Chain A
Amino acid sequence: MALPSPNPTPHEPDIAMWGGVGSGKTAFLASLSVALNRAEGANEGWRIIGADDVSNSELTRLRTNLLEHRIFPRPTDVLTSYNWLVIGPPTRGRRVWWAPWKRHPARAPKITFSFLDGPGGLFGKSEYSVSKEELIKSLVKSRGLIYLFDPDRRGQISDAFKNLDVALREVESQMLGDDKYLDGKLPHYIAVCITKYDEPNILRLAEEYTDHGLELPRVPDDQARDFFREVLARDLDQNAGIIMRLLEASFHESRIKYFVTSSIGMYADPDKGFDPDDPSNIIDVPGQDQKIRGAVHPINIMEPVIWLGRMLYPKTMGRER
C-alpha cells in the first residue's frame, strides 16, 4: 500500500525540531551551519541562511559562539521561533522532450527549517501551555521531524519519555482524529538523533557499534538503532525502553532513521590527530560555561537534515536511504 503523502504545502516548514531538556537543540543548529560549510563529496555545497532577520542574527550568534568564543549556546528559557532555509547545490538543468536543445535552469534544493526554541521541559510543565500549543502546531505542520535524545543525561530519561509521550499524543490527536491518515500513523519522516556522541562515556558505550576506520570514530547509520536500543536498555528507568516503541508505533518504520550525532565532535590534536585515550572536546569546569577545546568536527549533524530533504523532495534531491 502506498503511504500517504506528508502533504507538503509551499508555506509551511519542512522540518521541525524538538527534544528534551539539554538535549543539544541549539548546539545542533549552531553546528549545522559549520557542518554544511565543511561538507565534502556528495554533501558539498550546502548552506543555511536565515529566512528572516531574527533567524539570521540568531544564526550569526550561534556560529560566533561556537567558532570564535568556543562556547555552547546558553539553554533556552523563552519560546522563540526561528526559520531557516537550508539550500543545497543546484542540480543540472533538465532537458524536456518538446525542446531537447534547451535545458531548464538549474534548481537548488531548499529545505525550510523551523525551530521553535523553548525550554526543553516544555511538555512536562503546565505553565507553558501557550508555548506548548505553538510547538505542537509547528510539529503538526512540518513534514519532517528531528528528535534529539540526549543519552548522557542520567536520571532524566524519565523527562525525555514524558516529553516525547505528551508531544506525540498531542500531535496524534490533532492529525489522526479524522480519516486523513487511515493507517493510524503520523505522516512525518523523523530523524532520531542520539546526541553527544563525543562524551567519553557515550563513546565507551558505543564502542562495539563504532567504525574506527575513519579520521574520527562514528557509529554507522545501520548500527544507530541498535545502539539507541542499548542506551535505553542500560537505563534504570523502566520508561526508557518504551521510548523506541513509542516512536515506532507513532511513525511508519520506513520513515524513521536513527543517527548518532555530535555537534562538536571529538578532540583531535593538531599534530597527532584523534586519540581514543583523550577524546573529549569539551573543557568542563564546574561553575563555568563549558568551553570547546579544539576544532569543531560535527558528526552526523547535516546528514539528518539532508536525509529529510531527500525524503521530502525526492525529485530535486534524489531519493536514497
Chain B
Amino acid sequence: MPHPHIGTKQTNHSSWVSTGRHLRARASFGGELWSGLGWESLGNVSESELRGQLATLIASFDAPVVIAGIADPGIKLFKLHLDEAGTPQVSRLSRLTWAELRSGRDLLDQALRESLRGSVVESVLVIRSGSGREQEAAGRVIREHSVGAQVIEVTGVKIEGLLRDLVAETPLRQAYDLVVVRERAHDGTLELVGRRLFAKGSVPGEPADETVTVTDPSGVLIAISAWATPVQPSALVSLHHAPLPPGRHRIKAVLERPGVVRFPGIPGLRADDRPWSEIVAALPVRLAPPPPPVHLICAVEVTGTEEEVGARQERAGELIELLADIHPDPRRVEVSVIAYGGHVFGNRYPDRSAPEVAVWAASPIQALDALRSLDAEPSQYPVGAQVEDMLAEVDARLRPGTQATGTVLLTVGARPPHPPRSDTSRVLPCPNRYDWQQLLRGLEQNHGLRTGAIWDGEPRHAPPAWRRLGSAALWSAAVPADEDLAIRLGVLPPSSAPLSLPLIT
C-alpha cells in the first residue's frame, strides 16, 4: 500500500448519544444536537452492563468525552480521547474529595471548567457509584456545566481501573503497518511503503511477523504506522531502534494494546525519539550500487629501518583486512603484493636487483601472509627507489581487459622513483631507463588503474613524484588505514547515506 506521507491524523468532531440503555457514538458537526438533549439519566446498570457500554463507547467515539466518576470518597474527572495515531487514551483530569469540596464549591466549578475548556463539543458522562447529599450536589453542579450530561448509576465499581482496562483491551480502530523501504522498479529510487502487521479490529495479544533486509551496520529503525482507511494518511504509532546486523531478518511483533506493539526476540531494542521528518529526510534516494570486483596491488618499499618498513606493512595490511571485512563480496577481491627496494650504484658490476612479486591476484588472507613475510633491507642509495621497475613489473603482469576489474595500485614507501634520464633532481637515472611517469600513464589508460600512495612523511610535504603516485589518495604511514582511504582508492564503494529503515525486495 503506498504511503504518501506520515502525518497528523485529521478526525471529524463527533460525540456519543444514548439509544435506550446503550451508549453509541454519533457523528456531530456542531453543538445543536447535543445541546437539545438535556440531562438524561440512564438509570441503574450492573457492572457488566457498564463494562459493555463503555467498551462500545471506547471502540466508537471520535470526539473527547469527559467522564465524571462520583463515588463515596469524592469525585474524579477523566478524559477519553484519541491520540494523533487514533489510539483511545484515558487520562485523569482531577480528583476531589468531599472534604475538599465542602470547603468550597468553586473547586468543582473550576475543575469542570478546565475539563470542558477548548472543546467545541464535549460529551459528559456521569457514572455515579455512591449516593448521598454530596453526590447529589455534585451531580447538580455538573448539570449546570453540561446540560446534556448523561448519568449512569452503578454500584461498587472502581471507575478508573475499569476505564484503563477497557482502553487497553479495545480492538484496533486502525490497521498497523511496519514502515519499510523498497526500490521503484522503473528508476531504482526508494519509496516508503507499509507492510500490514495488524488489520483493523485486531485485538491485543495478536502476533504478526515480516521478513525484511537490514542494510545499515548500525541497525534498523522499526516504525509502526496506523492507517485510518486504506487511503487515509497515517500517523506514527511507535518508533524503535533495533541493533540488528546487516542481512535478512524476520521481525516478530505482538500487539500489546492499541498504540503499543512489542517486538520479542530483539535484544537491545530501544525507543527512538528522533522526529520522523528528520529520519525520512536522511534516507538515501537510491541504494548504493554493488561494488565491482577489486584487484588491489600493494607495492611496498622494503628499504629502510625495520620500524619504517614495519609501519608500511602495517598500513597495507590494515587496508587488506578492511577490504576482506567490509567489501560486500569478499570473493571478488584480489590482492597482489610486490616488494621493491633500491638500485645499487657504485659497484663494479651492473645492478641486477629487481622488485619481487610476493603474491599475485591472491586472496586477502594469502596477501596478508605474503606481506608479513617481507623483510626490511638497508638502503644503499637512500634518495631513490625502484618504483619505476615496480611499475614495469605491474605493466607486464596486467593483461588487457583488466578494466572490468577495479585495479588499484597502492605504493607504500618513502623514496622517489629514479628518473629515466639525468635531471635536476640529482637522483641517478634508472639503470633500465624505465620512465615511471610514462608507465603510470600507460597503466591508467590501458588498464583503468587507480593510484594511491602511503608515504612515510606528512602528505602535505610529499614531493611531486609521491603526489603523482597518490593521485587518488595520498596517506601518511603514521596514520592507520581506514575506510576513508579505501573509499578514496575506490576499493570500497562511496558511503551513501545509510538506509536506516528495513528494506523489502
Chains A and B form a bound pair: yes
Contacts from A to B (Cβ < 8 Å): 70, 200-201, 269-271, 277-280, 283-286, 291-294
Identity of the chain B residue whose Cβ is nearest the Cβ of A277 in the assembled complex: B421
Contact A200 B350, beta carbon cutoff 8 Å: no
A70-B346, A270-B348, A271-B350 are contacts. A283–B428 as well, Cβ < 8 Å?
Answer: yes
User: A292, B383: Cβ atoms under 8 Å?
Assistant: no
A286 and B416 CA atoms in complex are apart in Å by: 14
Residues of B within 8 A of A271 (CB): 350
Q: Is the CB of A285 within 8 A of B383?
A: yes
Whether the pair B422, A293 counts as a contact (CB closer than 8 A) is: no
Whole-angstrom CA separation of A291 from B424 in the bound complex: 18
CA A200 to CA B422, docked complex, whole Å: 7
- Whether B382 sits at the interface, judged by CB under 8 Å, is yes
Cβ of B204 under 8 Å from chain A = no
Please indicate the chain A residues that have their CB under 8 angstroms from the CB of B348 in the complex.
270
Contact of A277 among B349, B350, B433 (CB under 8 A): B433
**Given that A285-B381, A293-B428 are known contacts, is A279 also in contact with B346, CB under 8 Å in the complex?**
no
Render B418-451 as a binary contact track against A, CB cut-off 8 A, 1 for contact.
Answer: 0011111010110101000000000000000000
The residues of A that contact B381 with a CB separation of less than 8 Å are: 283, 285
List the B residue with the shortest CB-CB distance to A279: B422
Chain A residue at minimal CB-CB distance from B423? A200
Cβ-defined contact, B422 with A277, below 8 A: yes
16 A-B pairs within 8 Å (CB atoms) are namely: A200-B422, A270-B348, A270-B350, A277-B421, A277-B422, A277-B429, A278-B422, A278-B428, A278-B433, A280-B426, A280-B428, A283-B346, A286-B383, A292-B346, A293-B345, A293-B346
Among A200, A278, A279, A284, the most chain B Cβ lie within 10 Å of the Cβ of A278
Chain B residues near A283 (CB-CB < 8 A): 345-346, 381, 428
The distance in angstroms between the C-alpha atoms of A292 and B350, with both chains bound, is: 15
Q: Which of A200, A277, A284, A285 contacts B420 (CB 8 A)?
A: A277
> Is the beta-carbon distance between B428 and A294 smaller than 8 angstroms?
no
Closest to A201 in B: B424
Residues of A close to B433: CB separation below 8 A: 277-278
A278 and B421 in contact, given A70-B346, A283-B428, A291-B346 (Cβ under 8 angstroms): yes
Chain A, residue nearest B426 (CB):
A284
Q: A279 vs B421: C-alpha distance in the bound complex, in angstroms?
A: 9
Closest A residue, CB atoms, query B427: A284
Contact between A269 and B345 (Cβ–Cβ < 8 Å)?
Answer: no
CB proximity of B304 to chain A, nearest CB, Å? 14
Number of residue pairs A-B, CB distance < 8 angstroms: 41
CA distance A52 to B304 in the complex (A): 47
Q: Which residue of B lies closest to A286 (CB)?
A: B383
Q: Could you tell me if B382 and A285 are in contact, using CB atoms closer than 8 angstroms?
A: yes
Q: Which residues of A contact B383 (CB under 8 A)?
A: 284-286
Q: A200 to B429, alpha carbons, bound, how many Å?
A: 11
Shortest distance in angstroms between A320's beta carbon and chain B's nearest beta carbon? 36
| Complex: A270 Cα to B348 Cα, angstroms | 8
Q: How far is the CB of B7 from chain A (nearest CB, A)?
A: 70
Interface centre among A200, A270, A271, A284 (most CB of B within 10 A): A200
* A271-B422 Cα distance, complex, nearest whole Å: 19
Q: How far is the CB of A35 from chain B (nearest CB, A)?
A: 21
Shortest Cβ gap from A22 to chain B (Å): 16
Which B residues are CB-close (under 8 A) to A291?
346
Q: Please indicate the chain A residues that have their CB under 8 angstroms from the CB of B346 in the complex.
A: 70, 283, 291-294
A311 to B251, CA, bound (A): 107
Q: How far is the CB of B504 from chain A (nearest CB, A)?
A: 64
What chain B residues lie within 8 Å of A269 (beta carbons)? Answer: 350
Excluding A200-B422, A270-B348, A270-B350, 8 further A-B contacts by CB distance (< 8 Å) are A271-B350, A278-B421, A278-B428, A284-B383, A285-B383, A292-B346, A293-B346, A293-B428
**B422, A280: Cβ atoms closer than 8 Å:** yes
List 5 A-B pairs, minimum CB-CB distance, nearest first.
A277-B421, A200-B422, A278-B429, A293-B346, A284-B426
Q: Give chain B interface residues in 355-382, CB to chain A under 8 Å.
A: 381-382
Closest Cβ–Cβ distance, residue A67 to chain B (whole Å): 13
Cα distance, A70 to B346, chains bound together (Å)? 9
Write the B371-399 contact mask toward A (1 if CB under 8 angstroms, else 0).
00000000001110000000000000000
Question: How far apart are A103's CB and chain B's nearest CB, in angstroms?
Answer: 47
**Chain B residues whose C-beta falls within 8 Å of the C-beta of A278 in the assembled complex:** 421-422, 428-429, 431, 433
> In whole angstroms, how far apart are the Cα atoms of A278 and B422 in the complex?
5
Give bound CA distance, A292 to B349, whole Å.
14
| Interfacial chain B residues near A201, Cβ < 8 Å | 424
- Residues in B whose Cβ lies below 8 Å from that of A293: 345-346, 428
Tell me which residues across on chain A come within 8 A of B382, comparing CB atoms. Answer: 285
How far, in whole Å, are A269 and B348 apart by their CA atoms in the complex? 9
| CB of B428 to closest CB in A, whole Å | 6
Residue from A277, A279, A294 with most neighbouring chain B CB atoms (10 Å) = A277
CB distance from B291 to the nearest CB of A (A): 43
Q: B422, B424, B426 — which one has the most chain A CB atoms within 10 A of its CB?
A: B422
- Which residues of B from 403 to 420 have beta carbons under 8 Å from A? 420
B424 / chain A contacts, CB cutoff of 8 Å = 201
CA distance A248 to B111 in the complex (A): 120
CA distance A26 to B83 in the complex (A): 100
Closest A residue to B383 by beta carbon equals A285
Rounded to whole angstroms, the CA-CA distance of A299 and B348 in the bound complex is 21
A293 to B431 alpha-carbon distance, docked (Å) = 13
Give CA–CA (A201, B420) in the complex, Å: 16
A150 to chain B, nearest CB (A): 16
State A285–B428 Cα separation when bound (angstroms): 10
Q: Chain B contacts of A284 at CB under 8 A? A: 383, 426
Residues of A within 8 A of B420 (CB): 277
Complex alpha-carbon distance, A271 and B348, angstroms: 10
A271, B423: Cα distance in complex, Å: 23
Interchain CA distance A201-B426 in the complex, whole Å:
10
- CB pair A270–B349 under 8 Å, yes or no, is yes
The residues of B that contact A286 with a CB separation of less than 8 Å are 383
Q: Give complex CA distance A277, B422 in Å.
A: 5
A15: shortest Cβ distance to chain B, in Å? 33
Query: Whole-angstrom distance from the CB of B418 to the nearest CB of chain A?
Result: 10
A70 to chain B, nearest CB (A): 7
How close is A197's CB to chain B, nearest CB, in angstroms?
Answer: 14
CB distance from B116 to the nearest CB of A (A): 91
> How many Å from the CB of B386 to the closest CB on chain A?
15
The residues of A that contact B429 with a CB separation of less than 8 Å are 277-278
Rounded to whole Å, the gap between the CB of A217 and the closest CB of chain B is 13
Query: Using Cβ atoms and an 8 Å threshold, which residues of chain B touch A70?
Result: 346
Min CB distance A278 to B, Å, is 4
Give every chain A residue within 8 A of B345 (Cβ-Cβ): 283, 293
